[in-house]
Amino acid sequence: MKSKKLAFIGTGNMAFAIIQGLLKSNYPASQIIACNKSNLARREALQAVGIATNFANREAVEQAEVIVLAVKPQMMAEVCAEFADLDFSDKWVISVAAGISVTRLETLLPNAKNIIRTMPNTPSLIGEGMTGLFAKKSVNSTACQFAEELMSAVGKCYWVDTEDKINHIIAITGSSPAYFFRFMEAMQQSAIQMGFSEQDARLLVQSAALGAAKLVASNPATPISTLRENVTSKGGTTAKALDVFEQQNLAKTVENAMWAAIHRAEEME
Ligand code: NAD
């Protein structure tokens, strides 16, 4: 990845994860400026690895070639107002903020022509993320490539060609870690009712979930339905359990849940 002078506006959990990923892939710390309002310990940790943390947002944006907007969505308007009048002709803007459209970012930063919206998910915090990316066709392709390389520091990337699909990505990868957690929680609860300790129930459930996810990932040519069938003998225990899911129309429930997430994302834009 060709390094560029990067300014993180907001260095909370997400930005810190990206920075850690960048450093792991040998991105020079001297090319990174991290702005953060609170969290002294975070600033000290960044300084210890050679990242500049003593710039005001405006100064950082002035110095940077790429600006990563990583404050909470509700802070975005106030923060962007600090540097909206600067010349952005040679700068690229990458937002990781949930629910803020490119059109809205263009309103907040009217001088910025190259804006890329990204939608990472929580597993990004441990380098196992999946990030959806969107940019208008007019955005410089090198900027898009840079954004992809940046987000690859915390996992995998997936481009969407229209912005409404970012809301689909929210339902598929953004919110979905919670769907799996909910499922695992329910399984853990049942195991506890069977008499297992909370800790043992967790270990058993998380091992099964991780193993299943790894089986899917390590058999890319095998449909997930085949993997399911492979563990389902006719009339056996798994078949009996899956029958219950079918009776309760699990697929429809999941579909409804995902569309509820999409509709909420649309309302929030
Ligand atoms: P966070 O609260 O950990 O980080 C936000 C940081 O912004 C804080 O450290 C705060 O000190 C800093 N900040 C606040 N006001 C500031 C200002 N005026 N100038 C400079 N810094 C300021 O939040 P986070 O979880 O890292 O989320 C950051 C962005 O990433 C959000 O927009 C969120 O929607 C997006 N995001 C996060 C996740 C996730 O898993 N954490 C997933 C998807 C998207």
Averaged pLDDT, 216-234:
97
Whose alpha carbon is nearest atom 12 of ligand 1? 10
Distance from residue 264's CA to the centre of ligand 1 (Å) = 21
pLDDT in tens, 82-104: 999 999 999 999 999 998 999 99
When pLDDT is cut at 50, 70 and 90, the band that residue 269 belongs to is: confident
Whose alpha carbon is nearest atom 8 of ligand 1? 12
Check whether 40 has a pLDDT greater than 90.
no
C-beta 77 within 6 A of ligand 1: no
Phi and psi for 128 in degrees, rounded to 5? -115, 30
Distance of CA 69 to the CA centre of its chain: 14
Check whether 195 has a pLDDT greater than 90.
yes
Q: Which pLDDT belongs to residue 108?
A: 98
Check whether 157 has a pLDDT greater than 90.
yes
Express as a percent the part of the chain with pLDDT over 70.
100
Q: Which pLDDT belongs to residue 39?
A: 82
C-beta 262 within 6 A of ligand 1: no
pLDDT in tens, 1-24: 889 999 999 999 999 999 999 999
Q: Which pLDDT belongs to residue 144?
A: 98
Q: Which pLDDT belongs to residue 268?
A: 83
For β-strands 129-135 and 155-159, DSSP reports them as parallel
| Residue 120 alpha carbon, nearest atom of ligand 1 | 43
Overall residue count recorded for the chain in this entry: 269
Reported for 161-167, long-range contacts at CB under 8 A and 24+ positions apart, including other chains, are 161/134, 162/134, 163/101, 163/102, 163/103, 163/117, 163/134, 164/266, 165/132, 165/134, 166/117, 166/119, 166/132, 166/134, 166/265, 167/262, 167/265, 167/266, 167/269
Whose alpha carbon is nearest atom 17 of ligand 1? 37
Average model confidence (pLDDT) for the chain? 96
Check whether 234 has a pLDDT greater than 90.
yes
Phi and psi for 49 in degrees, rounded to 5? -100, 15
Whose alpha carbon is nearest atom 40 of ligand 1? 122
C-beta 178 within 6 A of ligand 1: no
